[in-house]
């Protein structure tokens, strides 16, 4: 006689996890791209209807996103998309830089020809896509995606997985600012020469120069966002509604 299974497969549980994960993925995508406006209230009932899932799945997804810092939970007020601000970006940029510098130094130290080629190729694609960014949201999405690929490739030779994991969390937060302040893409077109000098330093294993240029780039972007916020934060947001769920489904 065979022993009874200690744990029996639960198809219902698997289906629930799949539905919950879909809610999490779609809401997360909308938060990062700012189709759900930063600081806006996230109505569980509305999200449940638009996603065609249970309220429990929405709440579980929002709770996961709160743990990632993309959603805030307020007592008696429910969920809100995490806000953005000049001060918030400065703190985020400083945190990212703290992690990126050891990532950069480690990647340069462990570099090889294949990595150099992949890094240069990733930057080339990102810069070409940047040149064609316009008012179409899809062009911005493409640039953000390829820019992230360049950064992931740049840091990929670092063998400290904790640093890479931490960087990924912070970089996701930065993506929200890029979608909020779309003028940043236009500004970055003027930084091509800075990046060229940076890449030359990386290829030459000139860590001191590469680090200095990376820090300088961070400061330029932070100052640009601060000046943009000072001009008008309200006018920077993309139009936001819940109807986008129906478009992506």
Tokens of 162: 């904790």
Residue 203 and residue 207: Cα distance in Å, rounded? 10
- How far is Cα 145 from Cα 116, in angstroms, rounded to an integer? 20
Dist. CA 99–CA 6, nearest whole Å: 44
Element (H, E) at 130: helix 113-130
d(CA 66, CA 173): 12
Q: What does the pLDDT look like over 68-84, one tens digit per residue?
A: 999 999 877 789 999 98
- Domains delineated in the chain: 11-84+236-248 (1.10.10.10), 86-232 (1.20.120.530)
Question: The tokens of 32 are what?
Answer: 């990062």
Nearest 5°: CA angle at 125, between 183 and 163?
80
pTM of the model: 0.79
Residue 231: in which H helix or E strand, if any?
helix 207-231
Confidence band for 151, pLDDT divided at 50, 70 and 90: very high
CA dihedral in degrees (185, 168, 173, 53; nearest 10)? Answer: 110
pLDDT digits (tens, 9 = 90+) for 19-43: 888 999 999 999 998 889 999 999 9
| Residue appearing with tokens 């030359």 | 200
Q: List the structure tokens of 177.
A: 């600012």
**pLDDT band at residue 237 under the 50/70/90 scheme:** very low
- Averaged confidence pLDDT in the chain: 86
């Amino acid at each position: 006689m065979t022993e009874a299974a200690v744990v029996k497969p639960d198809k219902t549980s698997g289906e629930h996890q799949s539905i919950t994960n879909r809610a999490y993925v779609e809401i997360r995508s909308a938060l990062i791209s700012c189709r759900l406006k930063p600081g806006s209230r996230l109505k569980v009932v509305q999200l449940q209807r638009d996603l065609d899932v249970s309220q429990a799945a929405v709440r579980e997804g929002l709770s996961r996103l709160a743990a990632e810092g993309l959603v805030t939970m307020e007592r008696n007020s429910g969920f809100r998309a995490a806000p953005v601000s000049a001060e918030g970006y400065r703190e985020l940029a400083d945190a990212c830089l703290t992690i990126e510098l050891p990532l950069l130094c480690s990647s340069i130290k462990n570099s090889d020809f294949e990595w150099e080629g992949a890094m240069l190729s990733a930057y080339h694609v990102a810069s070409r896509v940047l040149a064609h960014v316009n008012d179409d949201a899809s062009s911005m999405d493409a640039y953000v995606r390829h820019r992230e690929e360049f950064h992931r490739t740049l840091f990929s030779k670092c063998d400290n997985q904790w640093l890479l994991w931490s960087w990924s969390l912070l970089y996701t937060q930065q993506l929200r600012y890029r979608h909020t302040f779309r003028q940043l893409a236009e500004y970055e077109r003027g930084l091509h020469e800075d990046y060229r000098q940076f890449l030359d330093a990386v290829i030459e294993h000139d860590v001191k120069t590469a680090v200095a240029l990376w820090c300088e780039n961070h400061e330029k972007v932070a100052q640009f966002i601060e000046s943009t916020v000072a001009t008008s934060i309200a006018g920077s947001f993309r139009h936001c509604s819940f109807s986008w769920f129906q478009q992506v489904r």
